[in-house]
Structure 1
Amino acid sequence: MRLSSSNTFTWCSGFPLWVMVLVVTSVLLGTLSLTSQSVFCRVGNKYQISARFPLKGNGNPPVIAYWISSTNGEKCEKMLRLLKAIYHPRNQYLLQLDADSSGYEREQLALYVQSQGVFRTFDNVNVVGQSYGINHMGSSSLAATLHAAALLLKLSADWDWFIALSSSDYPLMPQDDLLHALTSLPRNLNFVHFTDKTGWKEQKRVEKIVLDPTIHLQNSTPLSTLNYSSNITREIPDSFKVFGGSPWGILSRDFMEYCVQGWDNLPRELLMYLSNVVYPLDYYFHTIICNSPEFQNSLVDNDLSFTVWNLTAFGETQVLNMSHYEQMLASEAAFARPFHTGDQVLNKIDESVLNRSSKGLVPGEWCLGEGRSMGLENSADDHEELCSTWVNINSVNPGSRGISLAALLTNLIVEGRFTTSHCQEHW
């Protein structure tokens, strides 16, 4: 991680999504030439330097790079709640409100991050300035994901895994638990769930052509179906075989570097092909993994996420509520999605799973004084200091969920799940 030269907050400029159209066709090579200062609001400071760098290797916990995005004008309070629920000083965080959110919301988000001493100390929470539209059904969502990964690679070369979350997601375990479960695993693993429906219906879905106008415009715009309902299709190229599954996952840094930098032709070719497909995130990473000998043996067919698919709506998931609570916890997933803002099930997770106050961070080995017993529920000051006293950031204290997840992942290794077997079925 790098220190800011000043503690003074500076508003940052971004760049419009039409620039990313060119970046998409070159697998974001242009993005990598940008300086991080032109995109980020840096909020670090210079005190307690000796204890703020996470130790790497030798059994130390991993470092996770989180991209938290918000679409359709969602308020920054929803994003901040998620940030506090998954915050750990070892990790890196990139927060992005899309263009449907107001400039005022983005400014308030950045000002809040800058106001918290714990974020300044560890210099690991960054806010994208001027943003762009993102349509989760179209190619703009894939471009935004790769863009975020490229920026996080510029921000820090020390992270091990990339996780993309929306502000409608929420954790089902503290970060101490997740970091503990991942500590003993090879850092090149990719946790991606493959669909069991890779048949002719999925093939027809990929062959149909759609246009995502959001890639050219400032705000999110519905897809143009073009010939989506017609009989006109395109063939899948012979140079790769398409695989699909859920759009979420936990992806290794080495794999994300390959997708972003594209040092051979596959990422570029696939990116151009999927730019006119509905839900391209359902296919992009799966297809690259299974068509790359370097990464075929790195995958785990489990995205560690809990969702309930809506069988009556194409590509959509059910909104989770209290009726899903027991099922969520029994799933041993690390995250669940999606939730409505302020749903009571989120309060239940805070209270019973995370031990988190309504405004505080999740307590852990690094921040023993936070939590419900010393929470901020009764404080009239929304900007009261988060975790003013902290200790060892390189030690985690897992609970029962973290221990259980670690055992599950270990069993996957013992059972030989890290093989190319998931890449045998294709269209």
Structure 2
Amino acid sequence: MQFLQRKCIPPLVFCSIFALFLLFFSTFSHFNGVPFLFFHHISAIGDSFDFVENQLKLTPVSTPPSPPRFAYLISGSAGNGDMLKRVLLAIYHPLNQYVVHLDRKASPEERLALEEFVKGYKVFNEVGNVRMIVKANLITYKGPTMVANTLHAAAILLREGGDWDWFINLSASDYPLVTQDDLLHTFSNLPRDLNFIDHTSKIGWKAGQRAKPVIIDPGLSSLKKAEVAWVKERRSVPTAFKLFTGSAWMALSRPFIEYCIWGWDNLPRKVLMYYTNFVSSPEGYFHTVICNAEPFRNTTVNHDLHFISWDNPPKQHPRRLRLVHMKLMLDSNAPFARKFYPNGRLLDKIDAELLSRGREMFTPGGWCAGSGENGTDPCSVVGTPTVLKAGPGAKRLQLLIDFLLSSGTFRERQCK
């Protein structure tokens, strides 16, 4: 009996070892999806050996960043109704949100025609991302009512616009030089706390002609548009915060817009009260707030994303753009430009060569699912909004962004 037990031990040991080998083989036979047997091959290179697992470095599947969403304010005054429609169609995308404002100087008939256009457009109704401020504000462009109107639109977009990443203000004199697919594609890879705002603390002559004079904007208390009133007394430059100035056109991050609207500290309100009596306050309010707010001063990109042609020395308003400015606009790599003649030949050229947009049609993009047969707008049928078809405009814009965020430009030009 003892002999039989001893005789059975070797087979049992062999079976146990064989079972362990099978278990080991089954566990590692598909390490990282590669059959285990491949790892036994070696490659002799000189005096060293490189195992194949070191060569089979699988490229991780990277998920592309989701497209951002822009929230636009498009504003105009009397006679701008048709241009507001054109700008809206040119920059429309289902991912974005839009507020359209035609100020109180426009006739009731013009405002009603624009309202009916917004409410009656099939795609706008289907997507539900375009709204018009029906109770129009009175805007005095040298006064603070323009800032108040911008904050009003931003508040509406925060309340009704769902998720969005950047707030962009445009006028009826602005026009895009790239498609929205180009813009969304390029901004997909950017940190979403960046604020594109042209700014400087070197206010120069503006200290004497804008900061020290005191004005009263009749648009704050009157239903009739009138020029700002000048007060004889002058004031000193503030010491509680540092003044900054720059372009009135900007792309501001949602966190900064929330800060301006909700103001969890008192700086946005304090600065707003100061700019109530400031000449051309849209060229200073947001700039002064962001550069005096510690959480945001290092998020600024010193550019307004516009091509603008100024006289030398600059006047109150920039030059009107003509066909001769086309190459300069493209060389700027900016996504927007201003000021344009309403429905001029330059706009037609931009539609044809840069936006591939037909008259009274949307700018085409990956979201357009229509056939385009018989001259119909292919974007009259909404497809998948997150499908982007970036074109040459994205390449131009990327060159601008790369320059603005380069090590020698980005930090050196922040809130100085």
TM-score, normalised to structure 2, is: 0.80
Alignment deviations for residues 351-385 of structure 1 (CA, whole Å, 9 cap, x no partner): 111111111111111115488x8646xxxxxxxx7
**Alpha-carbon offset, residue 176 of structure 1:** 0.6
Of 165, 185, 190, the match for 1:180: 185
Shift of 1:225: 2.5
AA aligned opposite 1:171 = P
1:96-134 CA-to-partner distances (Å, cap 9, x unmatched) read 111111222222222222222211111001011121211
Q: Tell me, yes or no, if the aligned pair for 2:298 and 2:414 is still in contact at 8 Å.
A: no
After TM superposition, give the deviation of residue 95 of structure 1 in Å.
Answer: 0.7
Q: For the structure 1 residues 236 and 399, does the alpha-carbon distance in structure 2 shift closer, same or farther, using more than 3 Å as the test?
A: same
1:309 aligns with 2:310: yes
Mapped contact 1:160–1:187 kept (Cα < 8 A): yes
Contact 1:64–1:91 (CA<8 Å) still a contact in 2? Answer: yes
- Name the CA shift for 1:260/1:284 in 2 (closer, same or farther; >3 Å): same
Q: Could you tell me how far apart the structure 2 residues matched to 1:209 and 1:356 are?
A: 46
Question: Relative to structure 1, is the Cα distance of residues 113 and 245 closer, same or farther in structure 2, using a 3 angstrom cutoff?
Answer: same
Inter-partner Cα distance in structure 1 for 2:100 and 2:216: 27
Please state how far the C-alpha of 1:404 moved relative to its aligned partner: 2.6
1:387-426 alignment runs, 5 A limit: 387-415=379-407, 417-419=409-411, 421-424=413-416
Question: For residues 406 and 419 of structure 1, do their structure 2 counterparts lie closer, same or farther at Cα, with a shift above 3 Å needed?
Answer: same
Whichever residue aligns with residue 61 of structure 1, its letter is: P
- C-alpha contact 1:90 1:393 (8 A) present in aligned 2: yes
Give, in whole Å, the separation in 2 of the partners of 1:220 and 1:163.
26
2:207 is equivalent to residue 203 of structure 1 = yes
Residue 414 of structure 1: how far off its partner (Å): 3.9
User: Are the aligned partners of 1:363 and 1:370 in contact in 2 as well (CA < 8 Å)?
Assistant: no
Q: Partners of 2:164 and 2:155 in 1: how far apart?
A: 12
Q: Which residue of 2 aligns with 1:216?
A: 221
Higher relative contact order (CA 8 A, sep 6+): 1
Per the alignment, residue 323 of structure 2 pairs with 322
Structure 1 residues 416, 292: closer, same or farther in 2, change over 3 A?
A: farther
Q: Does 1:97 align with 2:102?
A: yes
Larger CA Rg, structure 1 vs 2: 2
Aligned mates of 2:371, 2:135 — CA distance in 1: 33
Aligned to 2:26: none
Q: CA RMSD in A?
A: 2.1
Q: Pairwise mapping of residues 218-367 of structure 1 onto structure 2 (< 5 A)?
A: 218-227=223-232, 232-311=233-312, 314-367=315-368
Deviation at 1:332, TM superposition (A): 0.7
Unaligned runs of 5+ in 2: 1-62
Q: What letter is aligned with 1:201?
A: W
- Quote the offset at 1:220 in angstroms: 2.7
Match of 2:70 in 1: 64
- Tell me: CA distance 1:421–1:354, structure 2 relative to 1, closer, same or farther (3 Å): closer
Q: Deviations over 1:142-177 (max 9, x none)?
A: 111111111111112401000111111111111011
Which 5+ residue runs of structure 1 have no aligned equivalent?
Answer: 1-56, 377-384
Partner of 1:22: none
Name the stretch that deviates more: 255-264 or 306-315.
306-315
Q: What is the deviation of 1:69?
A: 0.7
